A and B are shown apart, each in its own frame.
Chain A
Amino acid sequence: MNARFAAVALAALSTVALGPAKTDAQGFAGLGSNAQGFAVPERGFTLSFPKDHGPHSGFRIEWWYVTANLQAEGGRRFGAQWTLFRSALAPGEGQGWSTPQIWIGHAAVTTAERHYVAERLGRGGVGQAGIVADPFEAWIDDWQMKAIGPAGNDQLGRIDLRASGKDFSYRMTLTANGPVVLQGDQGYSVKSSSGQASYYYSQPFYEVQGTITLDGEPVTVTGKAWLDREWSSQPLASNQTGWDWFSLHLASGEKLMAFRLRDTGGGFVSANWISADGRTNPLSSQDVLLEPLRTAQVNGRDIPVAWRVRIPSKGLDVTTRPLNDNAWMNTYTPYWEGPISFEGSMSGEGYLEMTGY
């Protein structure tokens, strides 16, 4: 009954969102609705930077998504998330208050005991929220992700990240020690067998240094972070209901991105094996096996919080464990997003996102 609730809608229209698992012919959260008037990703398009770090207002949805696995000096582990979604009600920038561009910020800190969440909403065109590609700056209210590297270098090479919410805040510096990675086919990432796709690139090689303040207590942390950039207008097929998405930092320095889009049939699986120097190796449904091992009751839903991930061609067979079962993003469009660790044929940590449950 509140405006904010409505705003969720936005998130729903936009992004990660996962509405109720029962969906109609628009896929979940409207992400499968058709792209009328909006631009559609095309195979073969060449991404160029820093321009494509900035917003693409001709597309319906877009996000700048950072997840970090962090550790304090005594070994205490943390997860941190910083996300800015752009959700367009119509293509184009518009003027001032009449802009159709809506921005949604999500921030979270996860510990083994508690999951801290905050959400911010605002519209573009008036300065409250937005993105500038060069020099790079993304912000909503007093949250920001800002390039602090020397000019001329890759804008995302070194960034300052900060956000705050009730009882928590963080500020950290992310330094990339590897290149930006294009997902899918040179950044063209297919999302369904019927051809839905998005533009998708990542920066999975961040080293992090920073401070997390929980309930007034500052903690110095270090760790690894992963940035995802994705934009599209109709990323899901109308029968797809949600997804399970993994980003794994392997102890070897390699990275793995894998996702499964669930639908009324067998689902759609895609992955990318990234070598320590940033070379990509896209993998298809046949190569990747994702299998839920344990579900937990989270916010009244059954969420598969532990998984077995297998990629026989790479000799990977691991079991993932969440830092906190209850990493529930209680935002207007709710979903599960939290830090995980894994063991088996290889070990390491990463992030798991699950939507549409």
Chain B
Amino acid sequence: MKQAAFLALLSHWRHRPLQLVTLILGITLATALWSGVQAINAEARASYARAASILEQNGLPQLLPRDGGSIPTAVFAKLRRAGWSVSPVIEGDYRFGPVRIRLIGVDPLTLPNEGPAFPISGSSEFVDFVHGGGQLVVSPATAVRLKDVAAMPLKVSGDIPDDAAFTDIGVADRLLNRRGALSRIVMAPEQRPDLPALETVAPELTRQSAGDRPDVARLTDSFHLNLTAFGFLAFVVGLFIVYSATGLAFEQRRATFRTLRSLGVSLRSLTAMLIIEITSFAFVSGLMGVVIGYFVASALLPGVAATLRGLYGASVPGALSLRPEWWLAGMAMAVAGTALSSVQSLWQVRRMPILTAAQPRAWARASATALQLQSLAGAILLGLAISMAWAGSGLASGFAVLGGLLLGSALLLPAFLSKSLQLAEGRSRKALTVWFWADTRLQLPGLSLALMALLLALAANIGVGTMVSSFRLTFLGWLDQRLAAELYVTARDEDEAARLRDWLPQHSNAVLPIWSIEGNILGDQLQIFGVADDSTYRDHWPLIGGTAGVWDRVAEGQGALVNEQLWRGKGVQPGQTITLPGEWPVAVVGVYSDYGNPRGQVIVGLDALVRHYPNVPKLRYGIRVDPAAAADLKRQIVQEFGLPGSNVVEQDSLKRQSRAVFEQTFAVTGALNVLTLAVAGFAMFASLLTLSGIRLPQLAPVWAMGLRRRDLALLEIARTLALWLATFVAAIPVGLALAWVLLAIVNVEAFGWKLPMTIFPADWLRLGAVALVAAVLSVLLPVRRLATVNPADLLRVFANER
């Protein structure tokens, strides 16, 4: 009996395959986007953790110089001779031709056993590593890039992150020209108990305990939060689809339920059957969703990797590995989401009196009270969002504002549409028009979820699109200002740099050294640049705040400029004094914008930089020259010095590269936008399909009064378009508000810079057109059904029994 009853329930889906497809597709899409995004996040996080453990040995406590400079080798020897179990590290960026690599020099002889597994083993590998010309241990991808440019043996290891190379400390010392200046010292976690105190042996060092989170993970948090928000948005939209599909299926099976109950199936077993049914669907679709999610993630990951590299310098491999955490999370989300969206329908089944007329009603019709409550909730959320935007701080608060804004607007949408329809109805004179508006309003409760989904997708598109376009405009303008020199030259060593310094002035209008060191400023490892006193900077460098005579004071060595990130992140104000490494107090005289850089930065006068840090590498130069002569000069430099062409870069190609990085950065955002919109379009389709099935009772009387089925179909299209238009109009202010939140709140928190907002109405039109196509597509199938509905079906509405 139970089996027969269950088969009877299931037979519904055989008769309505499209509904089945909708339901499964809904769960699948929702799960796919969600788990795809999760997969990307999981991969990236795993990669940070790997990088941190291998590159920074962050599982081990470390000793760092108090003044942010370097540690003399003698201090290391002193610690060892005092019994400390410590190991030295020399690291820095090194350029092999055009390829820039993070070089990490370690001493395998003293590296603590407790640290990360070291990628060499065996005696001959050890000798290769330590001895002779040295060896670079790199990832497979880095090995490919270095193959022709590094004149050193490469050893490939899967444990090493991209764009980094492990090497012996002796090799790093030589390549980076450190002369024994150590970057840091790592400590074995267990030390002898009777050691002399650090303050006595090496008072110039300070201890940093193990397990501090890697910088890059902290930096990229915002980016991943962003992705998660996108994934969640898509998931919610997908759940709307599931909600309408299950609602319809339950509604249409009311007769079956009644029959089964009358035949003696208990309410409990009926409910159990339905739960088993829906859970199985959830499992199957969830599984499909996770699989599709894997492919979505694989397709997006290279873009994400490019973004992370471009924005944060974080290295994430472009290939995805299967991780149980997001498989499980994806399945759990699929089941939980399905349960959430079908709980209302299940509840109705339980409450249904056994012998009630199995009369279908518009299944999700909300009462006027419900609409009012929903609007009230929406208004409260909007109010909260506004007050948080006003008073809140921090990235979490930024996202709370985003959430409140989107959800509040979505909840207010039905009320907004209802009011608009009432308004239109009031202005109509013809009976058919009045019926049209009234009937549209009647459908609103059934469509409102799909329309809310559409609103969210449209608003997200407008908001994110506005942000990206604003960013692009600002960034490109800023690039033009910032990359003022026509040529950028990098010498291979200090001797060559000295010869360049002699040679270049006679062949160009100005030579601008670009020299920098890294050091600890206000607790972070930051870059300090020196700039020459040149009109290039005075005229072009984009300052967003400063005191009078900024450039004079910088040139005199009296003042420093900080970038926007440092200004916002550490609250460094012009007029304030900061201490640079080596106990060098300097007054902050201005703030400059520095897009595309996640870290703080300081600029001081070139002479002052060299005076305080005589060992600063003097390899890079910007060259001012007549733009027409730039290519010639490049040829000359290459010939004269035998420099590889890649060491002399023209402004054009640098800008091109920067733009390419930028475009890649937002490629993922664009892809996610399109996917979200697609899901929203599908939600619309699912809702219209649902409604078309249950609306015959409302249409039959109109048909009976003489309206042709074709006209009914046309009115259906007009209705969809009207709703689409109203939703789109509502989406514009919501989208702009979203863009503002992204630019003025989230961006500042996430990246440390603020962007001017620019509005791009042409983009909205394009988006509107896409959404229009989606709306028309979604209504086509239901309309075709309506236009060809069998008159007998319409007549049956008037029969007693249906």
Residues of chain A having any CB pair with chain B under 8 Å: 1-10, 12-13, 30, 89-90, 96-100, 102, 121-123, 126-128, 139, 141-142, 164
Contact B107 A123 (CB under 8 A): yes
Contact A90 B131 (CB under 8 A): yes
Say yes or no: A128-B77 contact (C-beta < 8 A), given A102-B109, A122-B109, A122-B110.
yes
Contact A9 B77 (CB under 8 A): no
Contact B111 A4 (CB under 8 A): yes
Contact B110 A128 (CB under 8 A): yes
Interface 1/0 per residue, B661-698 and A, CB below 8 Å = 00000000000000000000000000000000000000
Tally of contacts, chain A with chain B, CB under 8 A: 105
Interface-side segment among B23-31, B46-54, B166-174, B732-740: B166-174
Contact B179 A96 (CB under 8 A): yes
Closest residue of chain B to A122 (Cβ to Cβ) is B109
Closest residue of chain B to A140 (Cβ to Cβ) is B80
Q: How large is the interface on B (under 10, 10 to 19, 20 to 34, 35 or more residues)?
A: 35 or more
Closest residue of chain A to B85 (Cβ to Cβ) is A141
A8 to B124, CA, bound (A): 10
- Residues of A near B170 (CB, < 8 A) are 96-99, 123
Q: Does B403 contact A (CB under 8 A)?
A: no
Say yes or no: A97-B80 contact (C-beta < 8 A), given A5-B121, A6-B123, A9-B127.
no
Closest residue of chain B to A6 (Cβ to Cβ) is B126
Q: Does B557 contact A (CB under 8 A)?
A: no
What are the 9 A-B residue pairs with the smallest beta carbon separation, nearest first? Answer: A9-B123, A6-B126, A127-B77, A3-B108, A97-B170, A142-B83, A121-B109, A98-B170, A89-B131
Contact A141 B80 (CB under 8 A): yes
A89 to B107, CA, bound (A): 15
Closest residue of chain A to B109 (Cβ to Cβ) is A121
- Show 12 residue pairs from A and B whose CB-CB distance is below 8 angstroms, ordered by the A residue: A4-B113, A6-B121, A90-B131, A97-B90, A97-B105, A97-B170, A102-B130, A121-B109, A123-B130, A126-B180, A127-B73, A139-B81
A312 to B273, CA, bound (A): 99
A10 to B109, CA, bound (A): 10
- Residues of B near A97 (CB, < 8 A) are 73, 90, 105, 107, 168-170, 173, 180
B365 CB to nearest chain A CB (Å): 67
- Residues of B near A123 (CB, < 8 A) are 107, 109, 130, 170
A126 to B110, CA, bound (A): 13
Q: Does B488 contact A (CB under 8 A)?
A: no
Contact for B126 among A7, A99, A141, A142, CB less than 8 A = A7
Contact A142 B81 (CB under 8 A): yes
Contact A13 B111 (CB under 8 A): no
- Residues of B near A4 (CB, < 8 A) are 108-109, 111, 113
A126 to B78, CA, bound (A): 10
Contact for A10 among B81, B82, B126, CB less than 8 A = B126
B108 CB to nearest chain A CB (Å): 3
Contact for A90 among B108, B132, B173, CB less than 8 A = B132
- Interface-centre pick from B110, B123, B170 (highest chain A CB count, 10 A): B123
A126 CB to nearest chain B CB (Å): 5
Say yes or no: A13-B120 contact (C-beta < 8 A), given A122-B80, A122-B109, A122-B110.
no
- Residues of A near B551 (CB, < 8 A) are none
Closest residue of chain B to A100 (Cβ to Cβ) is B131
- Residues of A near B124 (CB, < 8 A) are 9
Main secondary structure of the interface of A (DSSP, over half): mixed
Contact B173 A98 (CB under 8 A): yes
Contact B113 A96 (CB under 8 A): no
Q: Does B324 contact A (CB under 8 A)?
A: no
- Interface-centre pick from A10, A89, A126, A139 (highest chain B CB count, 10 A): A126
Q: Does B117 contact A (CB under 8 A)?
A: yes
Say yes or no: A13-B117 contact (C-beta < 8 A), given A90-B132, A96-B73, A122-B80.
no
Say yes or no: A13-B127 contact (C-beta < 8 A), given A3-B118, A141-B81.
yes
- Residues of B near A5 (CB, < 8 A) are 121-122
B226 CB to nearest chain A CB (Å): 38
Given contact pairs A2-B113, A6-B126, A7-B109, enumerate 6 new A-B contacts (beta carbons under 8 Å). A9-B126, A13-B123, A13-B127, A30-B123, A89-B132, A96-B170
Contact B174 A127 (CB under 8 A): no
Closest residue of chain A to B78 (Cβ to Cβ) is A127
A151 CB to nearest chain B CB (Å): 23
Closest residue of chain A to B196 (Cβ to Cβ) is A142
Contact for B174 among A7, A30, A89, A98, CB less than 8 A = A98
Residues of chain B having any CB pair with chain A under 8 Å: 73-74, 76-78, 80-83, 90, 105-111, 113, 117-118, 120-127, 129-132, 168-171, 173-174, 179-180, 192
A263 to B74, CA, bound (A): 45
Closest residue of chain A to B111 (Cβ to Cβ) is A3
A253 to B396, CA, bound (A): 82
- Interface-centre pick from A13, A98, A123 (highest chain B CB count, 10 A): A98
Closest residue of chain B to A4 (Cβ to Cβ) is B113
- Residues of B near A102 (CB, < 8 A) are 109, 130
- Residues of B near A90 (CB, < 8 A) are 131-132
A96 to B113, CA, bound (A): 24
A2 to B117, CA, bound (A): 6
- Residues of B near A122 (CB, < 8 A) are 80, 109-110
- Residues of B near A99 (CB, < 8 A) are 170
A285 to B720, CA, bound (A): 108
A160 CB to nearest chain B CB (Å): 15
B321 CB to nearest chain A CB (Å): 21
Contact B108 A6 (CB under 8 A): yes
Closest residue of chain B to A88 (Cβ to Cβ) is B131
A123 to B111, CA, bound (A): 12
Say yes or no: A3-B120 contact (C-beta < 8 A), given A97-B173, A127-B74, A164-B192.
yes
A127 to B76, CA, bound (A): 8
- Residues of A near B77 (CB, < 8 A) are 126-128
- Residues of B near A9 (CB, < 8 A) are 122-124, 126-127
A60 to B80, CA, bound (A): 25
A126 to B122, CA, bound (A): 24
B127 CB to nearest chain A CB (Å): 6
Contact for A1 among B76, B107, B121, B129, CB less than 8 A = B121
Contact B118 A141 (CB under 8 A): no
- Residues of B near A126 (CB, < 8 A) are 73, 76-77, 180
A9 to B130, CA, bound (A): 11
- Residues of A near B179 (CB, < 8 A) are 96
B510 CB to nearest chain A CB (Å): 38
- Residues of B near A7 (CB, < 8 A) are 108-109, 126
Closest residue of chain A to B120 (Cβ to Cβ) is A6
Contact A2 B121 (CB under 8 A): yes
- Residues of B near A127 (CB, < 8 A) are 73-74, 76-78, 81
Contact A141 B83 (CB under 8 A): yes
- Residues of B near A12 (CB, < 8 A) are 123
- Interface-centre pick from A6, A97, A122, A142 (highest chain B CB count, 10 A): A97
Contact A128 B76 (CB under 8 A): yes
- Residues of A near B171 (CB, < 8 A) are 98
- Interface-centre pick from B81, B105, B109 (highest chain A CB count, 10 A): B109
- Residues of A near B113 (CB, < 8 A) are 2, 4
A102 to B82, CA, bound (A): 20
Contact B125 A6 (CB under 8 A): yes
- Interface-centre pick from B90, B118, B127, B131 (highest chain A CB count, 10 A): B127
A289 to B169, CA, bound (A): 49
Contact A128 B126 (CB under 8 A): no
Contact B173 A89 (CB under 8 A): no
- Residues of A near B82 (CB, < 8 A) are 142
Say yes or no: A3-B109 contact (C-beta < 8 A), given A9-B127, A96-B179, A96-B180.
yes
- Residues of A near B125 (CB, < 8 A) are 6
A13 to B80, CA, bound (A): 24
A142 to B77, CA, bound (A): 10
- Residues of A near B111 (CB, < 8 A) are 3-4
A81 CB to nearest chain B CB (Å): 19
A145 CB to nearest chain B CB (Å): 14
Contact A128 B173 (CB under 8 A): no
Contact A96 B173 (CB under 8 A): yes
- Residues of B near A30 (CB, < 8 A) are 123
A128 to B169, CA, bound (A): 14
